[in-house]
Structure 1
Amino acid sequence: MTEYYIPGATPAFVRAGQPFTLSGVQYPRKWLALASAGDLTEIGAAAKPAPGTDEVVEQGETGWVVREMTGSEEEALFAVAKAQKLADLAAMRRTVETAGIVRNGAIIATDRESQAMLSGALQLVQDDDQVIIDWKADNGWVQLDAAGVTYIAREVGLHKQAAFSREKVLATAINACTTAQELAAVDITTGWPSNTEEPE
């Protein structure tokens, strides 16, 4: 939300959507959001400038003040950016891990509930290898004998592990970054196991 400095207003620093008073006139909270460029110029409203990559914009006594970041501020900002990228990475891994796999034409769900159900089916055929499992794939029913259940369970497990392994590689790369440029260069969208292609 845009923030403005308005000389003589109360308060002087106002966010769009916030009411303010100027020259005895009470301006409603939506006035800034609906004002034209001419309206803003007429009351002397100055929008908060966008800082450069190594700058901070602060409220000064007579308007906006742009200054260079201190070393500690740069470190704090970089730490926040790194933490956010690690969070984005974890979200990407969860998406890949749980988005399913294709094996022998069957679309196998790999969400956490389906993983638990598959573990139960695997336990069942381990107790009785003559059991036939009616398994509902995302694109239809398949019948699985003990070998089939074991195969699917192994493929789901390998897919899950591949997703975590890729996350580990990328997390290591992110944690090794010491500059914003290095952090930006780490592409967390590539190198993941496929959710739609059969393995070669």
Structure 2
Amino acid sequence: MKAVIALSDGRCTHLFPDEAVVDLTAEKLESPVIAFGVSTATHEVVSVSEPPSEPYNAYGWVGGAWVVLNQAKVDAVLEASKAAKRFEVRELRKAAESSGITVAGLPVPTDDKTRDRVDQIVNAYADGDITGTVDFELPSGDFVELNAVQMQAIKAAGAQHIQACFSSQKTLVQAINAAPDHDALAAIDITAGWP
């Protein structure tokens, strides 16, 4: 990787892949972008094995190593990245919540409407409004007859599923919040561990 470094403070102003032709002249940087004010008098091109973390222009190349020049910028970008990842986790939790469960061999939807219906039926059994079996539609469109005990088992399994989704979200959010840098944040696999 090629980095264009400001001679004044070591700040990285441009990054290019190794195969890029970087032509720094006395007047400007000409390739692969044109940048006036970037010249051999003010900048140098160095080969680096690893790019700096994001945001790259908050880092400087000093003594042959990357150092932080603007911690506030690093912190702001890291916090914005964490917020975006927390949002992604929230969306994954919502999807996991509605992904469905299997109870006693029956596939059961776990969307809000189904959960509300199950709660209503369990309450109706508890109040004595329903005494026999109820017709319950499966995701396939087929119907089964279920009794109070089966409906209570579905309600309990659904509640446990929802809580497991929130627990997974909590664990991931805690890991995101604790990530000290972009590399640690990127290493968090937010797609794993969902019920």
Contact 1:173 1:186 in 2 (8 A): yes
Give the 3-state SS of the residue equivalent to 1:135 in structure 2: strand
Please give the per-residue CA displacement for 1:120-173, whole angstroms capped at 9, x wherever unaligned: 111111112623111111122111111010011111111111111111111111
**TM-aligned CA deviation for residue 55 of structure 1:** 2.1
Unpaired segments of 5 or more residues in structure 2? Answer: 1-29, 36-50, 59-67
**TM-aligned CA deviation for residue 69 of structure 1:** 6.4
- Name the CA distance, whole Å, in 2 between partners of 1:69 and 1:91: 35
Contact 1:125 1:149 in 2 (8 A): no
Aligned residue number for residue 65 of structure 1: none
Aligned residue number for residue 175 of structure 1: 177
Contact 1:125 1:146 in 2 (8 A): yes
Question: Cα distance 1:55–1:134, how it changes in 2: closer, same or farther (>3 A)?
Answer: same
- Name the CA distance, whole Å, in 2 between partners of 1:149 and 1:126: 11
Matched AA of 2:147: D
Please give the per-residue CA displacement for 1:20-67, whole angstroms capped at 9, x wherever unaligned: xxxxxxxxxxxxxxxxxxxxxxxx996589x9644249xxxxxxxxxx
Unpaired segments of 5 or more residues in structure 1? Answer: 1-43, 58-67, 194-200
Aligned residue number for residue 189 of structure 1: 191
Contact 1:96 1:163 in 2 (8 A): yes
Aligned residue number for residue 98 of structure 2: 98
Question: Cα distance 1:84–1:48, how it changes in 2: closer, same or farther (>3 A)?
Answer: farther
Aligned residue number for residue 131 of structure 2: 130
- Equivalent residues in 2 for 1:79-118 (5 A)? 79-118=79-118
Aligned residue number for residue 73 of structure 1: 73
Give the 3-state SS of the residue equivalent to 2:82 in structure 1: helix
Matched AA of 1:79: E
TM-score by length of 1: 0.62
Matched AA of 1:138: P
Contact 1:55 1:69 in 2 (8 A): no
**TM-aligned CA deviation for residue 71 of structure 1:** 1.7
**TM-aligned CA deviation for residue 192 of structure 1:** 1.5
Give the 3-state SS of the residue equivalent to 2:136 in structure 1: strand
Give the 3-state SS of the residue equivalent to 2:131 in structure 1: coil
Give the 3-state SS of the residue equivalent to 1:190 in structure 2: coil
TM-score by length of 2: 0.64
Question: Cα distance 1:48–1:70, how it changes in 2: closer, same or farther (>3 A)?
Answer: farther
- Name the CA distance, whole Å, in 1 between partners of 2:102 and 2:126: 24
Contact 2:98 2:111 in 1 (8 A): yes
Aligned residue number for residue 144 of structure 1: 146
Please give the per-residue CA displacement for 1:73-108, whole angstroms capped at 9, x wherever unaligned: 111110100001100111111111111112233221
Contact 1:86 1:174 in 2 (8 A): yes
